[in-house]
Chains A and B, each alone.
Chain A
Amino acid sequence: MSKFLKLATAATLALVIPAASASAEGDPASGAKVFKKCAACHAVGEDAKNKIGPLLNDLIGRTAGTVEGFKYSKAMIAAGEGGMSWDDESLDAYLEKPRDYIKGNRMSFAGLKKDGDRADVIAYLKTFSEGAQSAAAAPAPAEAPAPSTQQQAAAVPAPANAPKAAADAPLPDHGVFHLGRAATAEEIAAWDIDNRPDGPGLPEGRGTVAEGEVLFTDSCAVCHGDFGEGRDRWPVLAGGQDTLKAERPVKTIGSYWPYLSTVYDYVRRAMPFGDARSLSDDDVYAITAYLLYLNDIVTDEDFELSKENFTSVHLPNEENFIMDDRDEEAQYVAKGEPCMSDCKPGSVKITKRAMVLDVTPEGGDDEQQGAGSVD
């Protein structure tokens, strides 16, 4: 596939000088939440290992590009060799726009735009960095407390809600039990973001293939690959046409998914992984358009997908979905008492053995790879 759009990514490459404010002290508890955006690729804490990105223990004071066993970009190694190390200032600048601060590095995270988010996540990372412990008297990383299993019984907590006093408060007039209250239109709009194949639920908006390519490269390619080919075991989004009858089908939006509405709905509600609901409605139209382009369903880079033309686009595999007809399979149709004795002629032979494959995990970190996956 050679259709990578050479868009104006270069235009925005002005080197960003970190704003002088190496910002106020961040809050590690808030940082723990912000870090969830990073956690798809980075691990930190006890037992952390390198993932798509390097592990972040002892980050503060570390020379860039030096975690053992992690394959860095040339750019990141060069930065380290040039003397760059991670501190408040460099992290703040890098996290604001990773691509601009170290050009050519492989982290395709778009960046944390809010100063407070960056300060918080840096404060959080400091709690896992010995080098930073002396400076900031590390508060424990704030996670929900695990149910206490040790030592003394917790003091008996007061009831969460004191019994409501009013014996004669008016009951709502709905239903049988008169429980719950009316949902407001704003509340429904906040949660009801689903859309259907026939159109209902799509928001106003539009986006082009070209716009989608920029967004996809920034927010999606880190897992799905620049062309939707899927990195590691992350889902493949494009290609795979004519493989559904093959020994190893490749099930993508273009080869398998029946409806485009599902793409829009899913990206809008759950992507990017670890930063759900961060894309605008227009962004989602643009990314959906780009996914159509990657799957050769549209071929024009200027194609614009919108609420108006959305239902006119059909995915190639729509007709190949059928209703559940398991009941009609031979083994279920042939009802009756099963055989109890002399059911097979001669002795039974072993035909397949799990030990031959030897892909059963044993609790270590063996890099076995079996066939199939759960997705």
Chain B
Amino acid sequence: MSSVTGRKKLLSQSADSAANPAAAVASPSRRQLLGAGLAAGAGAALSGLAARPAAAAGDPVITEIQDWNRYLGDGVDARPYGMPSPYEEQVVRRNVPWLTADPVSSINFTPLHELDGIITPNGLCFERHHAGIAEVDPAKHRLMIEGLVDKPLVFTMEDIKRFPRENRAYFLECAANSGMEWRGAQLNGCQFTHGMVHCVVYTGVRLRYLLEEAGVKTNGKWLLAEGADASAMTRSIPMEKALDDCMVAFKMNGEALRPEQGYPLRLVVPGWEGNMWVKWLRRLEVGDMAWHQREETSKYTDLLADGKARRFTWVMDVKSVITSPSPQAPITHGRGPLVISGLAWSGSGTIKRVDVTTDGGRNWTTARIDGPSLPKALHRFYLDIDWDGSELLLQSRAIDENGVVQPTKDELRLARGENSIYHNNGIQTWYVQANGTVENVEVS
């Protein structure tokens, strides 16, 4: 592992990139670009993309005519499906190869540190598959409802789109988000520590309408949702939740679901762990008890220190994280105005308040929530400070509409031990050094 020398080399590359962004775009390896973000401990972050003092002759990007100011660009048909600027090429999902045996049954992470607002772009929503991406032909997709119903039914996609629709923004968080941090600070970037979450606007149909169409019998207390992929993913869902706010969705952020998010149809289970949001949804079975499938017994159960294990831990608890500054988003300007920005969410409703500390939790200031505050959706918060250039220990602490306060990691360890894997909603600490680099740490 030659990370130290590797990083030093990267620093000079990133300085080049700053002087000539086009050069960086010509062949930017991800290593280079991410390396620039991660360049820890070497102090070069401050030389990054900040406005440089004008030399006597003036800033060449002003005094010299730029190519884009002279030559014609592409016409309207050049990009029938528009993509981000090549200067944003580093804004991608990334995985942690050592976490899983094979990328077909694995996870990657949303680049939270590069995003703002509350909506996650479709191509950046983290992926978790248990048998790879099922490429389903919507003309051959069917949704079956059977079991304890008056009349077992089969729907085509066309049928489903004839029910009354609704649009709802919800976060989806994997139960294992932050799961690698139970034993202590491990991964250096909020993409990796917190990136198993996304928030999009779903268009779909209330699950209640579909169930009522088939007629749920009075002893139908549970629902088994099944996917059409090669893992035939299944989860048991209590009927009360199914009839409350669950949806079957066929659009995300206005366009068809992406294949990796379950095209053409997925279940939406607001506020509950992501594994239950069955993708490529093809079957709903009504029963009188839970099925105890693999993903609700051997996985997605929370082992406690005393050897007992909690099951059916569905709700995602109140949680927040500062997305910038963070290890992949160091401070690249000097002292003065600094925007501290982050995300907060709760599976039980809206976020009432987010507090931020810069001294590791001794003193807290209430942050400003900006943008829509929707139940079971991401909330964006900001704290605008005047940074004096000294070291910071940044944390955020969310409080949801029920008054539930985000706990510390140590409180969670005290209650559960370190082997729960799932449901780690503890407070995250970022250590900001005087040179602007940021590290994932824990504090006393």
Distance in Å from the Cβ of A347 to the closest Cβ of chain B?
Answer: 8
Across the interface, do A244 and B303 meet the contact criterion of CB distance under 8 Å?
yes
9-residue interface stretch from B63-71, B179-187, B376-384: B179-187
Given that A181-B154, A251-B298, A326-B313 are contacting pairs, would A191 and B307 also be in contact in the complex, using a CB cutoff of 8 Å? no
- Which of chain A's residues 55-89 have a Cβ closer than 8 Å to chain B? none
Distance in Å from the Cβ of B319 to the closest Cβ of chain A?
Answer: 13
Instruction: Determine if A374 is an interface residue (Cβ-Cβ < 8 Å).
Output: yes
Distance in Å from the Cβ of B373 to the closest Cβ of chain A?
Answer: 19
Across the interface, do A361 and B95 meet the contact criterion of CB distance under 8 Å?
yes
Question: How would residues 142 to 159 of chain A score, 1 for a CB under 8 Å from any chain B CB and 0 otherwise?
Answer: 011001110111100000
Across the interface, do A276 and B81 meet the contact criterion of CB distance under 8 Å?
no
Across the interface, do A194 and B234 meet the contact criterion of CB distance under 8 Å?
yes
Distance in Å from the Cβ of B368 to the closest Cβ of chain A?
Answer: 16
Looking at B298, B309, B313, B441, the one whose CB has the most chain A CB atoms below 10 A away is B298
9-residue interface stretch from B44-52, B112-120, B241-249, B397-405: B397-405
Given that A183-B144, A183-B154, A325-B310 are contacting pairs, would A262 and B443 also be in contact in the complex, using a CB cutoff of 8 Å? no
Per DSSP, chain A at the interface is loop
9-residue interface stretch from B18-26, B53-61, B288-296, B335-343: B288-296
Across the interface, do A322 and B230 meet the contact criterion of CB distance under 8 Å?
no
Across the interface, do A258 and B292 meet the contact criterion of CB distance under 8 Å?
yes
Across the interface, do B77 and A153 meet the contact criterion of CB distance under 8 Å?
yes
Q: Which residues of A contact B261 (CB under 8 A)?
A: none
Instruction: Determine if A2 is an interface residue (Cβ-Cβ < 8 Å).
Output: no
Question: How would residues 155 to 179 of chain B score, 1 for a CB under 8 Å from any chain A CB and 0 otherwise?
Answer: 1001110110000000000101001
The listed residue (B78, B179, B188, B405) touching A374 by CB distance below 8 A is B179
Question: How would residues 351 to 372 of chain B score, 1 for a CB under 8 Å from any chain A CB and 0 otherwise?
Answer: 0000100011111100000000
Residue of B nearest to A153 (CB): B80
Across the interface, do A343 and B361 meet the contact criterion of CB distance under 8 Å?
yes
Instruction: Determine if A174 is an interface residue (Cβ-Cβ < 8 Å).
Output: yes
Across the interface, do B230 and A276 meet the contact criterion of CB distance under 8 Å?
yes
Instruction: Determine if A299 is an interface residue (Cβ-Cβ < 8 Å).
Output: no
Residue of B nearest to A371 (CB): B183
Question: How far, in angstroms, from A355 to B360 measured CA to CA in the complex?
Answer: 18
Across the interface, do A320 and B139 meet the contact criterion of CB distance under 8 Å?
no
Q: Which residues of B contact A114 (CB under 8 A)?
A: none
The listed residue (A148, A180, A276, A344) touching B362 by CB distance below 8 A is A344
Question: How far, in angstroms, from A152 to B76 measured CA to CA in the complex?
Answer: 9
Instruction: Determine if A349 is an interface residue (Cβ-Cβ < 8 Å).
Output: yes
Q: Which residues of B contact A338 (CB under 8 A)?
A: 355, 364, 397, 399, 405
Question: How far, in angstroms, from A160 to B141 measured CA to CA in the complex?
Answer: 14
Instruction: Determine if A3 is an interface residue (Cβ-Cβ < 8 Å).
Output: no
Question: How far, in angstroms, from A366 to B224 measured CA to CA in the complex?
Answer: 41
Across the interface, do A321 and B311 meet the contact criterion of CB distance under 8 Å?
yes
The listed residue (A340, A351, A362) touching B364 by CB distance below 8 A is A340
Across the interface, do B38 and A360 meet the contact criterion of CB distance under 8 Å?
yes
Q: Which residues of B contact A362 (CB under 8 A)?
A: 3, 6, 31, 34-35, 38
Across the interface, do B444 and A174 meet the contact criterion of CB distance under 8 Å?
no
Q: Which residues of A contact B397 (CB under 8 A)?
A: 338
Across the interface, do A149 and B79 meet the contact criterion of CB distance under 8 Å?
yes
19 example contacts (A-B, Cβ-Cβ < 8 A) are as follows: A40-B102, A143-B135, A144-B135, A151-B80, A176-B212, A177-B213, A179-B163, A194-B293, A234-B101, A258-B292, A321-B308, A324-B311, A340-B363, A348-B444, A351-B441, A351-B443, A354-B188, A362-B3, A370-B99
Instruction: Determine if B40 is an interface residue (Cβ-Cβ < 8 Å).
Output: yes
Instruction: Determine if A303 is an interface residue (Cβ-Cβ < 8 Å).
Output: no
Instruction: Determine if A375 is an interface residue (Cβ-Cβ < 8 Å).
Output: yes
Across the interface, do B444 and A342 meet the contact criterion of CB distance under 8 Å?
no
Question: How far, in angstroms, from A111 to B17 measured CA to CA in the complex?
Answer: 52
Q: Which residues of B contact A344 (CB under 8 A)?
A: 360-362, 444
Instruction: Determine if A373 is an interface residue (Cβ-Cβ < 8 Å).
Output: yes
Given that A192-B285, A340-B363, A361-B94 are contacting pairs, would A353 and B301 also be in contact in the complex, using a CB cutoff of 8 Å? no
Q: Which residues of A contact B72 (CB under 8 A)?
A: none
Given that A161-B158, A269-B232, A341-B364 are contacting pairs, would A370 and B98 also be in contact in the complex, using a CB cutoff of 8 Å? yes
Question: How far, in angstroms, from A51 to B100 measured CA to CA in the complex?
Answer: 13
Q: Which residues of B contact A6 (CB under 8 A)?
A: none
Q: Which residues of B contact A10 (CB under 8 A)?
A: none
Instruction: Determine if B251 is an interface residue (Cβ-Cβ < 8 Å).
Output: no
Q: Which residues of A contact B185 (CB under 8 A)?
A: 352-354, 357
Across the interface, do A245 and B362 meet the contact criterion of CB distance under 8 Å?
no
The listed residue (A251, A265, A368, A372) touching B303 by CB distance below 8 A is A251
Across the interface, do B105 and A273 meet the contact criterion of CB distance under 8 Å?
yes
Given that A340-B355, A354-B188 are contacting pairs, would A39 and B104 also be in contact in the complex, using a CB cutoff of 8 Å? yes
Q: Which residues of B contact A371 (CB under 8 A)?
A: 180, 183, 186
Question: How far, in angstroms, from A47 to B428 measured CA to CA in the complex?
Answer: 36
Q: Which residues of A contact B186 (CB under 8 A)?
A: 354, 357, 359, 370-372
